[in-house]
Chain A
Amino acid sequence: MNREPRGWMIFSALVALFLSVLPLPHWLEVVRPAFLVLAVLYFSITAPRAGGIGLGFFAGLAIDIFQGSVLGQHALALALVTYIVVREHQIIRSKPALQQSLIVFFALLAYEFVSFAIDGWTGHPITNPLRWVHTLTGALIWPLVIALLERGHSPR
Chain B
Amino acid sequence: MAFGVSANRSLASRGPSPGFRFALYAIMSVTLMFLDQRGEWLRDVRYVLQGAAYPIQLAVSSPSAAWRWMSESVQTRDSLRAENEQLRTRQRQLEIRTQRYDALARENAELRGLRDALPPVADKWLVAEVVTIQPNSLRQSVLLNRGTRNGVFKSQAVLDDLGLIGQTTHVGPWSAEVILITDPEHAVPVEIERTGLRTIAVGTGTGLALPYLPANADVKTDDLLITSGLGGVFPQGYPVARVTGIQREAVQPLAQVRAQPLARLDRVREVMLVWFRPEHPAAPGSTTGADLKAGDAKAQPQVAPPKLKPTAPSSGPESETPKPGATPGGSPAKPASGMPASGGTPAKPSGAAAPSNGAPRPSGAAAPNNSAPKPRGAPGPGNTVPAPTEPSTPPSSPPSTPSAPSATSPDRTSSNAGVQR
Name A's B-contacting residues (CB within 8 A).
Answer: 17-18, 20-23, 26, 29-30, 48-49, 52-54, 56-57, 60-61, 65-73, 75-76, 79-80, 82-83, 86-91, 118, 122-124, 126, 128, 130-131
Bound-state CA distance A122–B158 (Å) is: 26
Contact A79 B22 (CB under 8 A): yes
Which residues of chain A are near B57, meaning CB under 8 Å?
Answer: 21, 66
Contact A90 B4 (CB under 8 A): yes
Interface readout for B157-169 with A: 1 if CB under 8 Å, 0 if not?
Answer: 0000000000001
Q: Measured between C-beta atoms, what is the minimum distance from A113 to chain B in Å? A: 15
Contacts A21-B60, A67-B136; A73 near B33 (Cβ below 8 A): yes
Bound-state CA distance A18–B177 (Å) is: 19
Which residues of chain B are near A57, meaning CB under 8 Å?
Answer: 25, 28-29
Contact A72 B141 (CB under 8 A): no
Contacts A67-B136, A71-B42; A91 near B29 (Cβ below 8 A): no
Interchain CB contact (< 8 A) of B141 among A22, A68, A89: A68
Contact A70 B36 (CB under 8 A): yes
Q: Which residue of B lies closest to A124 (CB)?
A: B185
Stretch at the interface among B48-56, B245-253, B302-310: B48-56
Size bracket, chain B contacts? 35 or more
Bound-state CA distance A109–B265 (Å) is: 31
Majority secondary structure, B binding face: helix
Contacts A49-B14, A83-B22; A123 near B32 (Cβ below 8 A): no
14 contacts between A and B (CB under 8 A): A18-B60, A21-B56, A21-B60, A23-B133, A23-B135, A61-B32, A67-B134, A68-B141, A71-B46, A72-B29, A83-B18, A87-B18, A123-B346, A124-B343
Which residues of chain A are near B52, meaning CB under 8 Å?
Answer: 65
Which residues of chain B are near A76, meaning CB under 8 Å?
Answer: 25-26, 29-30, 33
Q: Measured between C-beta atoms, what is the minimum distance from B56 to chain A in Å? A: 7
Which residues of chain A are near B346, meaning CB under 8 Å?
Answer: 123
Contact B4 A87 (CB under 8 A): yes
Contact A80 B21 (CB under 8 A): no
Bound-state CA distance A127–B241 (Å) is: 25
Contacts A88-B3, A89-B7; A126 near B138 (Cβ below 8 A): yes
Contact B33 A70 (CB under 8 A): yes
Within 8 A of A (CB), among B52-104: 52-53, 56-57, 59-61, 64
Contact B135 A70 (CB under 8 A): no
Interface check B150, CB cutoff 8 A = no
Q: Which of B53, B132, B135 has the largest number of chain A CB atoms within 10 A?
A: B135
Contact A122 B135 (CB under 8 A): no
Contact B7 A87 (CB under 8 A): yes
Q: Which 7 A-B pairs have the closest CB atoms?
A: A123-B344, A72-B32, A76-B29, A29-B137, A83-B22, A72-B29, A72-B33
Interface check B31, CB cutoff 8 A = yes
Contact A126 B33 (CB under 8 A): no
> Given contacts A22-B135, A83-B18, A86-B11, could you give 15 more A-B pairs where the C-beta distance is less than 8 Å?
A18-B56, A20-B135, A21-B135, A23-B60, A48-B11, A66-B56, A66-B57, A67-B139, A70-B343, A71-B49, A76-B30, A83-B19, A83-B21, A87-B8, A123-B344
Contacts A54-B21, A123-B347; A91 near B26 (Cβ below 8 A): no
Bound-state CA distance A61–B18 (Å) is: 19
